[in-house]
């Protein structure tokens, strides 16, 4: 399986991804591959990282032959996750020569095997690159896009090609698929030829520009990720990128990126950033081209080093960048325009509004607080909002933590205290087995009805809060199972760069860990996120769920008694809710496409599939619009235009300046909370609660 590391961490917020290693120099002008050799600096990094992890990691592992064999496979997968570059004979040689050796190499600072494998990858990749450029010299019009062939979408479990001929067949299929995607996006055939040639020429330049720091970064990544997915080595340049993110001063689109099999893939959208505000991008979307300004040429970034792609995306505040996006399901590409901006604290601050609901002929009010992250001052801001909502005499409060990847631990314990009298919030256990219990003291600011919204991207501090509220029976949890990030990391300096390592784990007051399993909602909403691709449990070598002793804590059972009725009312209501059903059916349609195992390499068949997808998408959105009394879209292009409004400096997200209405899930959360209020009052004989 290819590596998928999402560094959600309590008190850690990355604003942009970076590639380990320094910015690549100009390519070797000779055009000849020069094998890389380790130097003293790389040996020193190896020894320091190994020592740090052996001495200070929460979950120490034995450096033995079993570890060596597992790490070897991880390193190979990190380099060639699609099993399309190395030959089967290469893999057999690596296993034979290095299978039981890497544990000894790590202790001794010996990097011969690390560089041998990396150099072999570079050589094999250049062989493929040269062959592809030869095909392109003959013209893309000579590719046969009519034969009954297909390309496998995910090749993580496929065998490595037996020989060069089999490998060329894989890459020919890959090239044909890339060309078909451009045809489906109505790119002119002459431009397709130029774009594909530039793509592979650029890739060749970058392969020839590799440096020893690239090798040690990849090798140390394979080593550190054997401990857990959040332990990592940061090269000097990556450390600098990390500091930029921590200072919240990066001017860009506000997205965390990673390099996956030659594609720049979105991992997380930073709350308050242009990418998140646009509503047009999602995790696992892939950026295939970047353009400057409203009219600048799109520069193909497939195969480009991630640090170079990031440089293209960044720019001055207020300037426009265009991103050409290829969805995970390989459907039609689309171009998104965003205006670069600084992601400031105020953009991530808690906000509130009142959601009016009709209930038996009268208007009831539910307060809605959205909290994108846990920043310094979170609890104070939410306290002020709660007081305003109480003054407005709301019937209950919904706290929306969807997409909240965590943040300051101190803030989440204070936040729990706003809703509960003096009580523990979370337990933290370190590597020595010592457990610390954290909580807040004092009376609650808001003791009334509460619902908490979460989704698969709610992580760390969000899970601590939702878990505590659920364990106390203080509120109803709505949405999807959370990320499952239940570990604590710290940064340690090295002579060259830094290492981030796991030092502790979070536990709920019941003693159950939030690690791997996350928090299961009381009432589930359909999720657009595939749990096999996103979440702690999807990460290789994630630390396991476990349990420690519980701590004394108050428990209310009133909500448990009415949960069956709440679920029943919810299920009946959403069957007639056009907005909610649109979300459900749209998710089902996208998931149907994303679960395909292969794609046809017949251009006309792909055009027919694209037309069918557009027709079904248009039918879904128009059914919703008719139900809401809105004029249906005339065609798919009109629908697409409505979703791809171009941002301007005056309106950097492309959003309406009017206050945005609560989405379908927020509306339903408010209705569930109102049901809660009514049922509890009925059980109390009509008395106020």
DSSP label at residue 140: G
485 is catalytic: yes
CA distance 590 to 528: 8
Closest CA to 417 of 394, 449, 440, 447: 440
**Which of 68, 337, 460, 462 is the catalytic position?**
460
**Which of 90, 329, 471, 675 is the catalytic position?**
471
Contact 272, 347 (CB under 8 A): yes
Kindly report the number of other CB atoms within 10 A of residue 240's CB atom.
13
CA distance 386 to 448: 10
Tokens found for residue 39:
């130097």
3-state secondary structure of 139: coil
CA distance 216 to 326: 31
Residue by residue, DSSP assigns 505-535 as EEE-TTSBB-TTT----SEE---SS-TTTSS
Q: Is 198 left (phi over 0), alpha (psi -120 to 50) or beta?
A: alpha
CA distance 169 to 175: 10
CA distance 447 to 464: 19
Contact 464, 506 (CB under 8 A): yes
471 is catalytic: yes
Contact 235, 21 (CB under 8 A): yes
Count of residues making up the chain: 689
Closest CA to 21 of 203, 202, 221: 221
Contact 105, 112 (CB under 8 A): yes
CA distance 200 to 183: 18
For 284-389, strand residue ranges (E) read 286-292, 298-300, 320-326, 334-339, 341-342, 351-359, 362-370
**Which of 485, 500, 585, 624 is the catalytic position?**
485
Is the Cα dihedral 644, 649, 652, 658 positive or negative? negative
Gap between the terminal Cα atoms of the chain: 52
Contact 252, 16 (CB under 8 A): yes
Helix (H) or strand (E) holding 430: strand 423-430
374, exposed or middle or buried, with CB in 10 Å at 0-12, 13-18, 19+?
Answer: buried
74 is catalytic: no
For β-strands 435-440 and 423-430, DSSP reports them as antiparallel
For β-strands 320-326 and 334-339, DSSP reports them as antiparallel
CA distance 525 to 528: 10
Q: Which residues does 390 contact at the CB level (< 8 Å), separation at least 6?
A: 446, 448
Tokens found for residue 138:
């003959």
Q: Looking at the annotation, which residues are catalytic?
A: 460, 471, 485
């Amino acid at each position: 399986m290819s590596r998928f590391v999402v560094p959600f961490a309590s008190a850690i917020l990355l604003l942009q991804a970076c590639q380990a290693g320094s910015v690549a120099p100009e390519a070797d002008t000779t055009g000849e591959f020069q094998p890389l050799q380790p130097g003293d600096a790389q040996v020193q990094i190896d020894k320091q990282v190994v020592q740090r992890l052996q001495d200070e990691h929460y979950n120490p592992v034995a450096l033995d032959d079993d570890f060596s064999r597992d790490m070897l496979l991880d390193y190979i997968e990190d380099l060639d996750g699609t099993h399309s570059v190395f030959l089967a004979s290469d893999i057999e040689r690596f296993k034979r020569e290095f299978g039981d050796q890497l544990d000894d190499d790590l202790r001794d600072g010996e990097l011969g095997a690390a560089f041998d494998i990396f150099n072999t990858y570079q050589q094999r990749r250049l062989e493929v690159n040269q062959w592809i450029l030869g095909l392109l010299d003959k013209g893309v019009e000579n590719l046969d896009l009519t034969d009954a062939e297909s390309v496998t979408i995910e090749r993580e479990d496929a065998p490595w090609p037996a020989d060069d001929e089999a490998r060329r067949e894989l890459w020919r299929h890959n090239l044909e698929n890339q060309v078909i995607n451009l045809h489906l996006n109505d790119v002119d055939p002459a431009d397709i030829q130029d774009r594909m040639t530039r793509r592979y020429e650029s890739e060749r330049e970058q392969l020839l520009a590799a440096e020893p720091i690239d090798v040690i970064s990849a090798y140390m990544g394979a080593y550190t990720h054997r401990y857990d997915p959040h332990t990592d080595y940061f090269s000097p340049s990556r450390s600098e990128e990390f500091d930029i993110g921590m200072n919240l001063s990066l001017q860009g689109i506000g997205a965390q990126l990673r390099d996956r099999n030659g594609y720049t893939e979105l991992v997380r959208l930073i709350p308050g950033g242009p990418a998140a505000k646009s509503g047009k991008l999602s995790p696992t979307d892939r950026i295939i081209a970047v353009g400057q300004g409203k009219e600048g040429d799109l520069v193909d970034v497939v195969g480009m080093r991630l640090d170079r792609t990031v440089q293209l995306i960044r720019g001055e505040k207020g300037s426009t960048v265009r991103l050409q996006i290829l969805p995970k399901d390989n459907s039609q590409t689309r171009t998104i325009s965003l205006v670069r901006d600084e992601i400031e604290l105020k953009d991530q601050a808690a906000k509130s509004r009142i959601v009016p609901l009709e209930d038996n002929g009268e208007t009831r009010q539910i307060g809605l607080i959205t909290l994108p992250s846990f920043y310094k001052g979170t609890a104070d801001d939410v306290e002020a909002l709660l007081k305003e909502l109480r003054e407005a005499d709301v019937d209950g409060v919904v706290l929306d933590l969807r997409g909240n990847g965590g943040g300051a631990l101190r803030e989440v314990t204070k936040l729990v205290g706003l809703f509960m009298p003096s009580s523990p919030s979370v337990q933290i256990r370190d590597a020595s087995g010592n457990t610390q219990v954290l909580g807040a003291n004092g009376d609650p600011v808001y003791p009334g009805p509460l619902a908490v919204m979460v989704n698969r991207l709610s992580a760390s501090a969000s899970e601590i809060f939702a878990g505590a509220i659920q364990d106390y029976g203080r509120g109803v949890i709505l949405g999807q199972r959370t990320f499952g990030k239940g570990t604590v990391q710290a940064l340690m300096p090295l002579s060259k760069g830094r290492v981030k390592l796991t030092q502790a784990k979070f536990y709920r007051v019941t003693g159950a860990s939030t690690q791997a399993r996350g928090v299961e909602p009381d009432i589930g909403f359909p999720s657009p996120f595939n749990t096999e691709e996103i979440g702690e449990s999807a990460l290789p070598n994630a630390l396991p769920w476990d349990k420690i002793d519980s701590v004394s804590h108050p428990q209310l059972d009133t909500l448990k008694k009415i949960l069956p009725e709440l679920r029943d009312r919810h299920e009946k209501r959403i069957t007639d809710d056009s907005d909610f059903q649109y979300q459900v059916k749209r998710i089902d349609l996208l998931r149907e496409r994303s679960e395909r195992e292969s794609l046809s390499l017949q251009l006309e068949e792909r055009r027919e599939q694209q037309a069918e997808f557009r027709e079904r998408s248009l039918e879904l959105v128009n059914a919703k619009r008719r139900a809401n009394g809105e004029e249906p879209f005339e065609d798919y292009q009109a629908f697409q235009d409505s979703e791809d409004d171009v941002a301007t400096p005056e309106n950097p997200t492309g959003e309406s300046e009017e206050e945005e209405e609560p989405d379908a899930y927020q509306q339903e959360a408010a209705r569930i909370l109102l049901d809660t209020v009514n049922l509890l009052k009925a059980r109390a004989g009509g008395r106020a609660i």
